[in-house]
Amino acid sequence: MTVVPYPWQELAQIPSQALASLSLARDAWARVVSPERLEEALSALVDDKVGIELGAFGVGPGEPRLEEVSFVTGQATIVVGVEPDLAVALLARVLGRPLALARPNEPLAASLAGALSALVVEVARRVSERPVTLVDPTARAAALSVEATVRLDGRAYRAYALVEGYEAPTRGTPPRVTISDLGELKLGVPLVVAASVLRSSELARLVPGSAFVPSEAWVDRTGHGRGILAAAGSERGVWVDLPPDGRIVLGQATAELSLDDHGSGESMADPNDVNETLTDAALDAPVVVRVELGVVSLAARAWATLKPGDVLQTGHPIGEPVLLRIAGRAVARGELVSVDGEVAVRVRELFGPAGET
């Protein structure tokens, strides 16, 4: 077997700025128009099923390659390019008479080019919320481009669209996305009812049947009192009240779930013992153990409208069992019990690295 070095020099060189721009291109195009709305509008006009699949995205002026139509809507100048054969197939259905080109994909005659412009503008008017005006092609500016495949009557055609004047986002100025932009996407936030700082050696002693008393518990063993809504890997959350009637009432104060600060001193150590000392310190480093009493799951749009005093509707009762979570990972499942009058957790299951019991 012959072993040769990998030809790294032959790999394409892609600037990191280009990657940052392209990763945002799909979202930027979706804000202009969605393929689903285009399919619906075009299918209605030609009275036939039309499919549109978006392909590669890019940033740049591009070169004219297909039959193009330019129009302005709002602040954007949009250029649509389609295969001449696709233009003829669409116009034949709109006009209700057979049309054909002398040769495949030859340039359109002036009359067909005008009819294509009218069709593109009518589709744009149906999917745009702003006025649409046909314009003459101009010098191409920096643009966001997208390749597309249009399917009609079992055949696939090439097409593309460019949004001229598009300014590529920079790494330092990403577009602002709010939680309400996620719409009906379900987001689950754990409800933390207790927390404790344990050392690794103490954590290792937890086995099924054992119990530990958290250093801070905000509920009684029935699950009533207060809690903190905090993401699995976050140290910050919001206080909620948990009255006996089963409601979850959003508060207005924030909460912190983190290790307490401890003072430190210095002393000289034998260099030969430094590595062993660091190993011992790492193995016995304290961790925050969270006790979670279920998960509150709401649509993103609903989370965005919450305010202090609102009652959260979870759709399911929150109760036993509870989860023990460390650094974002569930490590055990148990139940709330009382130990000498204090809330404790009796461990029932331990989870492995992949979450198995």
**pLDDT tens string 287-339:** 889 999 888 888 888 888 888 888 886 555 655 688 999 988 899 999 888 88
Q: How remote is the C-alpha of 47 from its chain's centroid? A: 36
Q: Which percentage of the chain shows pLDDT scores above 90?
A: 20
Q: How many CA atoms lie within 13 A of 124 on its CB side?
A: 24
CB 337 within 8 A of CB 356: no
Helix (H, G, I), strand (E, B) or coil at 126: helix
pLDDT at residue 165, as a whole number: 59
Query: According to the model, what pLDDT value does residue 233 have?
Result: 82
Q: Can you give the three-state secondary structure of 161-203, one letter per residue?
A: EEEECCCCCCCCCCCCCCHHHHCCCEEEEEEEEEEEEEEHHHH
pLDDT level of residue 261 (50, 70, 90 thresholds): very low
The pair of three-digit structure tokens given for residue 144, joined into one six-digit string: 């966001």
Length of the chain: 357
pLDDT band for position 268 (50/70/90)? Answer: very low
Residue 156 pLDDT class (50, 70, 90 cuts): very high
User: Is residue 283 over pLDDT 70?
Assistant: no
pLDDT band at 280 (very low <50, low <70, confident <90, very high): low
Domains and CATH numbers, the chain: 11-164 (3.40.1550.10), 179-258+283-350 (no CATH)
Query: Within 13 Å and on the Cβ side, how many CA atoms surround 286?
Result: 11
Instruction: Say if residue 14 is exposed, middle or buried (CB neighbours under 10 Å; 0-12, 13-18, 19+).
Output: exposed
